[in-house]
Structure 1
Amino acid sequence: MKTIALYDEDAFAKDFTAKVISCDEVIIDDQKLYKVVLDKSLFFPEQGGQTSDIGRLDDHQVVDVQIEGDTVYHYCKGGFLIGEEVHGVIDWNHRFSNMQQHTGEHIFTGLAHNEYGAENVGFHLSDNTVTLDLNIELSEDMVENIERKANEIIAADVAIKAYYPKQELLGAIAYRSKKEIDGPVRLVEIEGVDLCACCAPHVKSTGQVGILKVVSYEKYKGGTRIYILCGLRALDDYNRRMKLLAKAYRTLSCKEDEVPDKITSLMDEGKQLKYEINEIKSGILMNQIDSYPSDVSDITIFSENLDAKIMRDGVNALVEKHDGLCCIFSGNDDDGYNFVIGSRTRDCAAIAAGMRELLGAKGGGSKQMAQGSVNATRNEIERTM
């Protein structure tokens, strides 16, 4: 049965009354829901890269809406009698946010097409993320240019209209579409900016988008993936970032425009301190190595917080003096150990393989030296070695 799509007629309607055509109990992700078909619906189903509307039918929450053919299915937390009349209310904040994002995407991709010949090959709108994929690589200047012009169009409050042109006229209309469409084609037009096939609800004019902000972008499958936020979502994201920035400059005791230099300075200081600490650790380890009599064949050292280079240097120093198996383990019984083993006379690769088999160690190496990690206690390691 074809569901009358009220969302197609009025994107700003918030509630409606409809008759229940069918209601079936279903289990989805171990949750009992009711799959409800109505004769008409204001709930926009998931399609066109956009997640569905949510809301309520009478007192029951609508958590998802899908479309199969021409039939819209509402997944509800409660059921209804066939023939029963129900009152539906969509979550308006959710709907309006989605409309802001989707119209913003049309503005951006329309401009990308007009300015640089880019084609939109992908779009995803969820409750957390808005991405659009273009088939060409955009530079930073190109992205900033599109973003600036998009916000100028938003400020100009250009009217937006959605309509179904007559089928016989469709071939003469130049519109964007990510795929071939069978049957009637719904066009969303932003005059002078974009004309695109689209099934989703949109705002009435570009001014209702509020603002469009490019959050980030990246190379993707030979083109560019753009992350955007519009309207109230952009405001929420801006406020979140400003709070993080304010916390950063208060913590660093500097002005906000000094934060990058302050962080760079702290990172440089940290690198220098790490170098100095490692020099001290290396010196302590080498003193320990020098204290072992040269006639002792096998040497195993347990320590903490040694980096891989210090451990390798230490094993090399041990191998020069001792002809048996030389091992350094860094870590503790709770978190496990990193290790480096070396020898002039023993096969270290074979020993590492034995540790993998007996202790579940990871890693490997050559006959002369091997390294890796093992989640075992010191006693277990000593018994195995």
Structure 2
Amino acid sequence: MQRTEKYFENDAFRKTAAGVILAAEADAKTGGGRIALDGTVFYPEGGGQPADRGTLTLADGTVLHVTDVHETNGIIWHRVDALPETAQPGAAVTGTIDWEWRFDKMQQHTGEHILSGILHQMFGAENVGFHIGSDAVRMDTSVPISAESLREAELAANRIIWENVPVLITYPTPEELAALTYRSKKEIAGQVRIVTIPGADVCACCGTHTAAAGQVGQIKILTSENYKGGVRLSVVCGGRALREAQAMRSRQADIGALLSAKADQTAVAVHRVYDEYTALKFAHFGLCSQLFDTLAAQLGPDETAIRTVPGLDPDGLHRLAARLSEATTGLCAALTPSEKGTGYCIARSGGDVRALTKALNAALNGRGGGKPGICQGSCAATPEQVEEFLKKAL
């Protein structure tokens, strides 16, 4: 079978093309199949860039939805949701890509080139991993890069966009290629396609790109984390960067409204609330300690102590059970109601409560465990049901 002509390589802005079916293979499991064409505007998945989506329209007007595109040995296969009898070799079709989907990928891919090239220039970083995800672009670098350095690189990358330099596609001869310095993840057999963004990057790449850097719109690094000796970046470009900025502004407005603070004062307001929370947390800790001491002081030396105190967190439950067990050799249990049932902590001085905890979990749909003298967990029952179970188990 002849190789598929790749119209997207010469013109990434071409949205539609007439073609002829070379082969059609049905998929009995899905009811669809895959179609190979003599030429296509659909980009096949590869190089970190997802495949195009769109439609193939047959001569009789039947529309087939293209859900995935892959290349095998130079032949580009279009996976479709249906494969009618009229979709046979020799039949004419018109392919049309989902342009909004494609342009988004072009913005992300070109932005990745610019940022990768800048990181390589500034820090000698190699791009060792790249994938255009549904929310953001993932980029992995070969060397660690500090937060301050990433901000500098982000600014330099956006300057390339502001200058609106052209994105150039060339096909150098072997002699020209040997004399050219360019980024590439691996050795490439055959004709090499070079993407050049003046001032930013020269890279071997088969993907689709914008015609000029200005069409990328903006490059924004959302997050960075240490990863395999380098950093893993989450990046958005173009329309994604705009939507992220809009979402961030909306979140900031919500926070400002809750804190009664202007947009440029939200950080100050959050610090104030945090300080107040910390002070209340310490006060709460002290009050709980006084309450636990009072409850413990009321116990006899071998009395059973099952106490329910609303609003305790796991640490508070543990502290209460432990404090009660200091005052009595009897069974002690601290309980607190929760949305899903009851949080519990069971303790016994010099005893082993693991078997009792296991039985409680089995009977009341709970989970938890611990050491012989103290176990902690939660269950789906009410505090009253837990208390009843524990009293019957004595």
**How far off is 1:52 after superposition?**
1.1
What CA distance in whole angstroms lies between the structure 1 residues aligned with 2:393 and 2:188?
A: 68
| Identity level (%) | 33
User: SS where residue 14 of structure 2 aligns?
Assistant: coil
Q: How does 1:336-351 map to 2 (within 5 A)?
A: 336-351=341-356
The 1:266/1:32 distance shift into structure 2, 3 A limit, reads farther
What's the counterpart of residue 336 of structure 2?
330
Please report the TM-score for the alignment, with normalisation by the length of structure 2: 0.88
What's the counterpart of residue 317 of structure 2?
311
The 1:46/1:355 distance shift into structure 2, 3 A limit, reads same
Per-residue CA deviation, residues 115-158 of structure 1 (Å, 9 max, x unaligned), is 21111101011332112111001112221221111121112222
**How far off is 1:355 after superposition?**
4.0
Please report the TM-score for the alignment, with normalisation by the length of structure 1: 0.90
Per-residue CA deviation, residues 202-235 of structure 1 (Å, 9 max, x unaligned), is 1112122222222222211110112222222212
What's the counterpart of residue 19 of structure 1?
20
Check whether the contact 2:157–2:200 (CA below 8 A) recurs between aligned residues: no
User: SS where residue 306 of structure 2 aligns?
Assistant: strand
User: SS where residue 377 of structure 2 aligns?
Assistant: strand
For structure 2, the residue ranges without an aligned partner over 5 or more in a row are: 58-62
From 131, 134, 154, the counterpart of 2:141: 134
User: SS where residue 42 of structure 2 aligns?
Assistant: coil
Check whether the contact 1:324–1:346 (CA below 8 A) recurs between aligned residues: no
What's the counterpart of residue 308 of structure 2?
302
What CA distance in whole angstroms lies between the structure 2 residues aligned with 1:302 and 1:71?
A: 70
Greater shift in the superposed pair: 178-187 or 360-369: 360-369
Q: How does 1:253-332 map to 2 (within 5 A)?
A: 253-292=260-299, 294=300, 297-331=303-337
What CA distance in whole angstroms lies between the structure 1 residues aligned with 2:246 and 2:320?
A: 51
What's the counterpart of residue 41 of structure 2?
42
What CA distance in whole angstroms lies between the structure 2 residues aligned with 1:144 and 1:27?
A: 52
Check whether the contact 2:139–2:232 (CA below 8 A) recurs between aligned residues: yes
From 66, 71, 83, the counterpart of 2:70: 66
What's the counterpart of residue 155 of structure 1?
162
For structure 1, the residue ranges without an aligned partner over 5 or more in a row are: none
- Tell me whether 1:165 sits opposite 2:166 in the alignment: no
Greater shift in the superposed pair: 237-246 or 304-313: 304-313
Check whether the contact 2:108–2:132 (CA below 8 A) recurs between aligned residues: yes
The 1:243/1:360 distance shift into structure 2, 3 A limit, reads closer
What CA distance in whole angstroms lies between the structure 2 residues aligned with 1:312 and 1:194?
A: 59
Q: How does 1:172-183 map to 2 (within 5 A)?
A: 172-183=179-190
Q: How does 1:71-110 map to 2 (within 5 A)?
A: 71-80=75-84, 81-82=87-88, 83-110=90-117
The 1:320/1:125 distance shift into structure 2, 3 A limit, reads closer
What CA distance in whole angstroms lies between the structure 1 residues aligned with 2:393 and 2:237?
A: 61
The 1:321/1:116 distance shift into structure 2, 3 A limit, reads closer
What's the counterpart of residue 55 of structure 2?
56
User: SS where residue 206 of structure 2 aligns?
Assistant: coil
Check whether the contact 1:324–1:345 (CA below 8 A) recurs between aligned residues: no
What's the counterpart of residue 60 of structure 2?
none
What CA distance in whole angstroms lies between the structure 2 residues aligned with 1:224 and 1:327?
A: 48
**How far off is 1:86 after superposition?**
1.1
What CA distance in whole angstroms lies between the structure 1 residues aligned with 2:181 and 2:336?
A: 67
- Tell me whether 1:121 sits opposite 2:128 in the alignment: yes
